[in-house]
Structures are given as structure tokens and as C-alpha cells.
Chain A
Amino acid sequence: MPLKTIDALQLAGKRVFIRVDFNVPLDEQGKVTDDARIRAALPTIRFAIAQKAKVILASHLGRPKGKPEDKLKLTLEPAAVRLSELLGQDVILADDCVGDGVVKLARELKEGQVLLLENLRFHPEEEANDEAFCKELAALCDVWINDAFGTAHRAHASTAGMARFVKEKAAGFLIKKEVEYLGKALGTPARPFVALVGGAKVSDKIKVLENLLAKADCVCIGGAMAYTFLAAQEVPVGKSLVEKDKLELARQILDKAKARKVDLLLPVDHVCGDAPKETARRVVVADRAIPADLMGLDIGPKTLDSYRQRILSAGTVFWNGPMGLFEQKPWAEGTFGVARAMAESKAVTVVGGGDSAAAVEQAGLVDKMKHVSTGGGASLEFIEGRELPGVKACED
């Protein structure tokens, strides 16, 4: 069933609750240091304003622990200020997300006005998906729109629970875009479909790998998880990070790849150091095997070149997880090299949130990708083939 989106609804004069993801990084002074998430929500917000909706926005910010200082540190006020600048109109900030004050504000809202509710997670009921809290949120609005892909894998009150108490509901444009690109990449990919999977742990990506093996033509492995795969084939990996209890799992994945005739590529050379530090000695090891006194910290140049060739000749590329310890310069080349290859490729390039999205952002290549997901955890769960509660709630 195609996802119902906000443009399928009549919004004029209605109170439209839009769950957005304004979980933005703040500096010490409480200023927004990166407004990408706010900008990502603009198409939906602008559409609702243009349709003469009474717009009610809600988001979480950080992880409030119920301490009094949370109210000052984790207020959405900086996001309200930034949003107001981006929209060029006033944004009314409520002092809470439920209660009489908010009810009154929502009731008095005029067409085209924007009300931002205060941090949903000031109430533990949000994450607990408390029914009474769901009803309180639902009572504020006529229409529920979910446009927070970053929390779509969570069944919280605002991301899913309240939907059953609202008559009209749909997804926003951001969620639509996410589901379209991630769904297309997996459902009907232009072939060959090349997936790059990195990151530290095999255990984090096991479901993703399994699902990709069923769909991709080629899976390129990078990051520390590559050493567990090499170790599983009894290749010496020196001091590299290895999940000893996952060796059997890694062998099973290798067997599955073989059985399904998927090319599962592992690094054939490495950039190593004697410690995972910026100042460590950088050694390029031109072999699969890593000497006993070194640890692999990035894919080597030959590996990068072979992954690059795969990316350039692909029809679809999906990437999740860095190729090395890219936060430190000596071990960043593999990750940025992959990002550059994707930028050059004519393939449908999709970056699944989290660290790989951060790397693409750092490399200044966001515009060169077909899609960079805004949700790390959500995009992973989507790729795993799981149903996202925040997306499902838009469909019922």
C-alpha cells in the first residue's frame, strides 16, 4: 500500500499536529550548531502553512532525566528561534506539550500560525507511550502527521501511540522521501545493487547483513567488523578488534553469501596502527594478514580501489557504517574515499544515517547523494526489514 502523505489531506482551518525531529545539537550557549534536521522538516511545515493549517509542531530534544536543570538545557527554545528565522514568521513556543496552557494556545491558533510544543520527553509518558498522554496530545489536533524519521522506529506517544486517537493521519514529506528511497533501494533496486556495510560490530549489523544478502549483488565489508570476518577465516589480524564470540556467526554469513552467489568482499589490505590514536604510527599493510603488533584501523588503498570500482559500476549503492576510525585523520581515507566514489557514481546512492551520514556531511558531499537518511537507527531497522511503528501509524 502506498504511504498516505500530507498532500492527500484537506488541511485548511484544521489543527495539524506534526511530529518533527528537532533533536538538534546545541553548543554551550544553547545555540543550534547544526540545523540540518530543522531544514529537513521545512517542506512539510511550509506545505501545512500554505494550506492554511493551524500548525502544531512537537519534538523531543536529548534525554531529559527529570532534573530541574533539564528544563533550561533541553528546551526547544533555540530550535524555535532557528525555525522562526528559516520560516520568516513567528513561532509560538508553549511552555509544555500538554496541559491547560497548551490546550488554550492550540484552540486559539489561527490559520497559518505555528505553535511549537516544548520538549515531549520532559514527560516520561512520551517514551512510555502512556495512553492518557497519547489522548492529551491527540486532543490538541484534528490531523496527525509524522515527519520524524529519526524516531520512526520507536513506538512512543507522539511517534505512534497518539495516532489511534486522531481521525486523520498521514506521513510528512521527509518520511515519504525516506521510505521511498530506502524502500526502492531494497525493493526494486537498479542492478547491480552494491551495499557497503561498516562499523565496529558484526552483532549490530547482523540483521542488516542478512537482509542485504537476500537483495544485493555485492556486499563490501569495512570497519572493525571486517576483522571479525577475516578472523573467522583464520586470517591473522594482529591486535585488531575482533568479536571472538561472533566468529561462528561471521562464518554463517560468509556461507550464506556463497550459497546466494552474492559477492561478499572483505579488505585485501589495511591501514594499521599500533593503537587507535590520532598520534599512532600509521602503517599500510599490503596484505590480508595483519602483523601481530598492529591493529587494522581503516581499509587499505587496494581495498578502497576495488570498492570504488564496484560503486562506480553499480546501479544502486547503499552505505551504512564507516570503513575505518574516520573520526581520526590517519584512518579516515577509506570512509571518505567511499563517500567520494558514491558522489561520483551515477548509481542511486543512499546513505543510511548515523556515522556514514556524518562522514558524508563532513566531506561536504550531501548534495551529491541521491538520499542521505536522517535516521540512523530507523534506517537500519528499515533495512533489516522491520516494520517501523512511526510509519505504520501513518497508514492505519
Chain B
Amino acid sequence: MARQKFVCGNWKLHKSTAEAAALVKELVDGLGGDARVQVAVAPVFTALPAARAALAGSPIELAAQDVHWEATGAFTGEVSAPLLADVGVKHVIVGHSERRQFFGETDESVRKKVGAVLAAGLRPIVCVGELLAEREAGQTLAVVGRQVRGGLAGLPAEVLAAVTLAYEPVWAIGTGKTASTAQAQEVHAAIRSILRELGGAVADSIRIQYGGSVKPENAAELMSQPDVDGALVGGASLKAKDFLAIVKGALR
């Protein structure tokens, strides 16, 4: 079955409320109501309301960059899934490599967050990916497999359909070899076969985004791969022109 391409911009720690509103407005104008590709943006928490107001009436959806697994309680500093839903969030990025590397995110916390997101009626974008050292040691599929299984453990098949995976690869290996589109496809296909183990036929409807260094120049080629169903765009999503070009690349 054909999966609709899904491109989400991860703005990371960038953009004030005014800047976020301005960027969203540029995207809304540029996209002009075209809904052939599912498009979302993930500003910082504080800019969510401003972004929400700016994208009203457009097909662009709102995403958050992280979430806590509890709904309420004595968890100073955290934001929960129901509160994200309250400000119009539809998708939540969970387990991004930067969270895993700098903020102690584990497969276990990813699993809890995914559960909380789904329970609040939101859709998680679950990030997986190996480190350079793991790629060099030939551990890519083992690491990615562990993260997918760990992050999605215990979810019933019918709920799995609401999940999007994002594979954040290593872009280079060994001497003079850049990670190729074919290597991306190889890992995406491996992720889908794990999803098939977990959820059977539902695996064919789950989108797997490429969370690499997606740019206007490589977007079309990457997303033309059979198991690359969109992109989780980092730096390039901060420039409207580049992000729109990537969305356009998803159409080809």
C-alpha cells in the first residue's frame, strides 16, 4: 500500500515566538494548502502557541520535540502529553539522538514516553540510529533493532499504526566513503522487517522517516527509496526555502 510521505521539521533549540510565527507564516504561504505530503514543524515548547496561531487553517501540523511520560504530578520542569495536546500538538518526537546522547534518554524512557503520547491521542515519531563507532563495528542493525524493539515493546499491533519511525544514520564510514542512499534504504528495510515481527501487516502502513542530513539537493533521491517515507529535517528546516524544497522533493 502507498504510504503518504511525512516531512517534519525539527527546529531543535532555535527560534523565539516571533521568529517561529514568521517562519511558520512563510511555510504556510509557500505550501499554499498543498496536502499531498504530510507536513509538521516542531518548535521549542515556548513557541508552540505562536506557531499554532500562525499555522491555523493550513495543512501544516504541530509537533513537539520531547515529552514527559507522566500526565501530571511532582515532576518539576517537565511537560506532559495532555498538555501538549492542549496547545494543539499532533506529533511528538521521542528519543532523538541528542536526547539519547546528552540527556540520558534510554530505550526504557522512550517506551514510556511513546505510551504516554499514544494515550493522549497524539502520534509519536520515534527516533533510532547508531553511532559512528557502532557503524564502524558493524553494529548498525543490532543497535537499531534494539532501539526499535525497546522503544515499542508491549504496544498492541493496532496502536503501532499511529507510530512513525525516524532513522538517524551515520553519514560517513571509513576512508572516503559517504553513507549512500542505498545504505539508508538497507537500514529502513531492516527496520520495517522488525516492525513486521512486532505488528505483522501493520508494518506496511508505518512511515519510516529518514532523519539524516536531509537537504534540498538529496531529498528527492532519498525519498524515492521504497522504504523511505519522508524526512525528519534538522538544520535545513530552519530556512523556509530549504524546507519547502525538501517537501517538494517528497512528491517526486
List residues of A whose CB falls within 8 A of some B CB: 68, 71, 77-78, 80-81, 84, 90-96, 98-105, 107-110, 115, 118
- Taking a contact as CB atoms under 8 Å apart, the answer to whether B172 and A93 are in contact is yes
Sampled A-B contacts (22; CB under 8 Å): A68-B217, A81-B176, A84-B176, A90-B174, A91-B175, A93-B176, A93-B177, A94-B178, A96-B213, A96-B215, A99-B213, A100-B212, A100-B236, A101-B172, A103-B235, A104-B97, A104-B213, A107-B101, A108-B131, A108-B132, A109-B132, A110-B133
Interface of B, helix, strand, loop or mixed by DSSP: mixed
Contacts of B133 in A (CB 8 A): 108, 110
Of the candidates A71, A105, A110, the one whose C-beta lies within 8 Å of that of B171 is A105
Contacts of A103 in B (CB 8 A): 235
Contacts of B172 in A (CB 8 A): 92-95, 101, 105, 115
**Which of A80, A81, A98 has the largest count of B CB atoms less than 10 A from its CB?**
A80
Contacts of A102 in B (CB 8 A): 171, 213
In the assembled complex, how far is the CB of residue A158 from the closest CB belonging to chain B, in whole angstroms? 18
Q: How far is the CA of A162 from the CA of B101 in the complex (A)?
A: 26
In the assembled complex, how far is the CB of residue B41 from the closest CB belonging to chain A, in whole angstroms? 16
Cβ of B88 under 8 Å from chain A: no
Cβ of B227 under 8 Å from chain A: no
In the assembled complex, how far is the CB of residue B130 from the closest CB belonging to chain A, in whole angstroms? 10
List residues of B whose CB falls within 8 A of some A CB: 97, 101, 131-133, 136, 168, 170-179, 212-213, 215, 217, 234-236
- Taking a contact as CB atoms under 8 Å apart, the answer to whether B101 and A99 are in contact is no
In the assembled complex, how far is the CB of residue B179 from the closest CB belonging to chain A, in whole angstroms? 7
Q: How far is the CA of A114 from the CA of B106 in the complex (A)?
A: 29
Knowing A99-B235, A99-B236, A104-B97, say if A92 contacts B131 (CB, 8 Å).
no
In the assembled complex, how far is the CB of residue A81 from the closest CB belonging to chain B, in whole angstroms? 5
- Taking a contact as CB atoms under 8 Å apart, the answer to whether B179 and A80 are in contact is no
Residue in B closest to A76 when the chains form the complex, CB atoms: B176
- Taking a contact as CB atoms under 8 Å apart, the answer to whether A101 and B176 are in contact is no
Q: How far is the CA of A101 from the CA of B173 in the complex (A)?
A: 12
- Taking a contact as CB atoms under 8 Å apart, the answer to whether B175 and A80 are in contact is yes
Residue in B closest to A118 when the chains form the complex, CB atoms: B178
Knowing A99-B236, A100-B212, A100-B235, say if A105 contacts B176 (CB, 8 Å).
no
Knowing A99-B215, A99-B236, say if A105 contacts B132 (CB, 8 Å).
yes
Residue in A closest to B214 when the chains form the complex, CB atoms: A100
In the assembled complex, how far is the CB of residue B209 from the closest CB belonging to chain A, in whole angstroms? 13
Contacts of B179 in A (CB 8 A): 95
Q: A90-B175, A92-B132, A93-B178 are in contact. List 8 more A-B contacts (CB 8 A).
A: A68-B217, A80-B175, A92-B172, A94-B178, A96-B213, A101-B171, A101-B172, A104-B171
- Taking a contact as CB atoms under 8 Å apart, the answer to whether A95 and B174 are in contact is no
**Which of B177, B213, B215 has the largest count of A CB atoms less than 10 A from its CB?**
B213
Q: How far is the CA of A101 from the CA of B215 in the complex (A)?
A: 10
Knowing A101-B212, A101-B213, A107-B101, say if A92 contacts B235 (CB, 8 Å).
no
- Taking a contact as CB atoms under 8 Å apart, the answer to whether B213 and A95 are in contact is yes
Knowing A100-B234, A101-B212, say if A81 contacts B175 (CB, 8 Å).
yes
Please name the 8 residue pairs, one residue from A and one from B, whose CB atoms are nearest each other, closest first. A101-B213, A101-B171, A100-B234, A80-B176, A84-B175, A95-B178, A108-B132, A77-B176
Residue in B closest to A109 when the chains form the complex, CB atoms: B132
Contacts of B217 in A (CB 8 A): 68, 71
Contacts of B236 in A (CB 8 A): 99-100
Of the candidates B97, B168, B174, B215, the one whose C-beta lies within 8 Å of that of A92 is B174
Contacts of A91 in B (CB 8 A): 175-176
In the assembled complex, how far is the CB of residue A116 from the closest CB belonging to chain B, in whole angstroms? 8
Residue in B closest to A79 when the chains form the complex, CB atoms: B176
